[in-house]
């Protein structure tokens, strides 16, 4: 493993030269990639320097164990135990840094939340989940922009799609894809019986135009009048857009904006992300599917989490984690679930490596 680290200094120097190269600076995409690699190499170089220093300290303490001074040898023995533990932790951190990086980790995401089984109760819980993720985004300084929504009259959503943008959004939320189950007594339930409903969440990395080219000849664009709640002109002009991608049959609709051009731009952004996601999933089916190795089956129909209101409980079934902090979680305090998930899947990746 450490053979890979010997050339770090030279690579770091080369990257620093590229960061000051006018040609690289002029190419935003390349400059971003070089800056990202420079940050990773710098971090690895720092960790490796700490590791080499620990090795030297451990060797020095082992020499002291041979001294005739028993008191000095005992102090060296105690310090050696601590140094060995630090070395083990540092070695694990270096291994993590050397794991292949998910190329999507730095990306923004399209968050798609859809009501599943449970009718209006599922739609209401879809709105609860959207508020939860919005509050979590706010805590991290991310921006949430609604791309498309299909509200119901009592405050829920049959479907809502939002662009969440900020620092390393996908890396934090990529394990949220799947079925989220809710157990609670609906407001309309006269006899107080607990109902079980389900909502599907899909986290899709945002696609840049250079990653997915959409041939204008392969799409059909339909214009129609927006429906549902709206302002002065939302429901009175043909501003809603439906784009059908003919080769795949993917359909995206957007009617939230009053402007036809804005709706078209949002719909194309959603379509581009879905096409990239489809392309990646097809690649993962053909090869041994690295992503599925990290996140279980990767099937979005898989139940991943249960929110039980009578018990105030949230359970993540992939890591057998149960927290009796339902209200806190729904307020956006998701890190108590997300951090253990990241740790779990990193550990699985280390085993696989």
Q: What is the pLDDT of residue 165?
A: 94
Residue whose pair of structure tokens reads 């509200």 in the numeric block: 151
Size (the chain), residues: 353
Q: What is the pLDDT of residue 283?
A: 65
Q: What is the pLDDT of residue 175?
A: 94
pLDDT per residue as tens digits for the range 26-70? 888 788 888 888 888 888 888 888 888 888 988 888 888 887 778
Domain boundaries, the chain: 2-98, 109-210+286-352
Q: What is the pLDDT of residue 254?
A: 87
**C-alpha distance from residue 79 to each of 27, 34, 75, 220 (Å):** 50, 40, 6, 70
- Residues in the chain where the model's pLDDT stays below 70: 1-4, 188-190, 209-211, 227-237, 283-302, 353
Q: What is the pLDDT of residue 49?
A: 85
Helix (H) / strand (E) containing 55: helix 28-64
What class does CATH assign to 109-210+286-352?
Answer: alpha beta
**C-alpha distance from residue 20 to each of 10, 34, 39, 234, 352 (Å):** 16, 11, 15, 49, 38
Q: Which residues sit opposite 224 in a β-bridge?
A: 240
β-pairing, 250-254 vs 303-308, is unpaired
Q: What is the largest CA-CA distance in the chain?
A: 94
Q: What is the pLDDT of residue 247?
A: 87
β-pairing, 313-316 vs 109-115, is unpaired
């Amino acid at each position: 493993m450490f053979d890979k680290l010997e050339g770090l200094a030279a690579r770091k120097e080369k990257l620093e030269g590229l960061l000051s190269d006018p040609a690289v600076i002029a190419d935003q995409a390349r400059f971003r990639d070089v800056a990202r690699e420079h940050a990773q190499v710098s971090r690895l170089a720092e960790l490796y320097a700490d590791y080499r220093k620990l090795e030297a300290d451990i060797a020095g303490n082992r020499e002291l164990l041979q001294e005739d001074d028993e008191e000095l040898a005992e102090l060296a023995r105690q310090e050696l135990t601590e140094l060995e533990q630090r070395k083990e932790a540092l070695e694990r951190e270096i291994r993590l840094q050397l794991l292949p990086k998910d190329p999507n980790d730095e990306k923004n995401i399209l968050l798609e939340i859809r009501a599943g089984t449970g009718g209006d109760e599922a739609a209401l819980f879809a709105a609860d989940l959207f508020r939860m993720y919005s509050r979590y985004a706010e805590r991290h300084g991310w921006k949430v922009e609604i791309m498309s929504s299909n509200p119901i009259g009592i405050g829920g959503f049959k479907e809502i799609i939002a662009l969440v943008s900020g620092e390393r959004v996908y890396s934090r939320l990529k394990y949220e894809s799947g079925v989220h189950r809710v157990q609670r007594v609906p407001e309309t339930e006269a006899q107080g019986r607990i109902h079980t409903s389900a909502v599907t969440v899909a986290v899709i990395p945002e696609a840049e135009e250079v990653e997915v080219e959409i041939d204008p000849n392969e799409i059909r664009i339909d214009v129609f009048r927006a429906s549902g709640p709206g302002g002065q002109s939302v429901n009175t002009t043909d501003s809603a857009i439906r784009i059908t991608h003919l080769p795949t049959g993917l359909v995206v609709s957007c009617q939230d904006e009053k402007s036809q051009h804005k709706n078209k731009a949002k719909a194309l952004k959603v379509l581009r992300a879905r096409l990239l996601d489809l392309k990646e999933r097809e690649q993962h089916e053909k090869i041994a599917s690295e992503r599925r190795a990290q996140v279980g089956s990767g099937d979005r129909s898989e139940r991943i989490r249960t929110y039980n209101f009578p018990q105030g409980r949230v359970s993540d079934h992939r890591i057998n984690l149960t927290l009796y902090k339902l209200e806190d979680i729904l307020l956006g305090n998701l890190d108590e679930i997300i951090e253990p998930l990241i740790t779990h899947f990193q550990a699985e990746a280390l085993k696989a490596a």
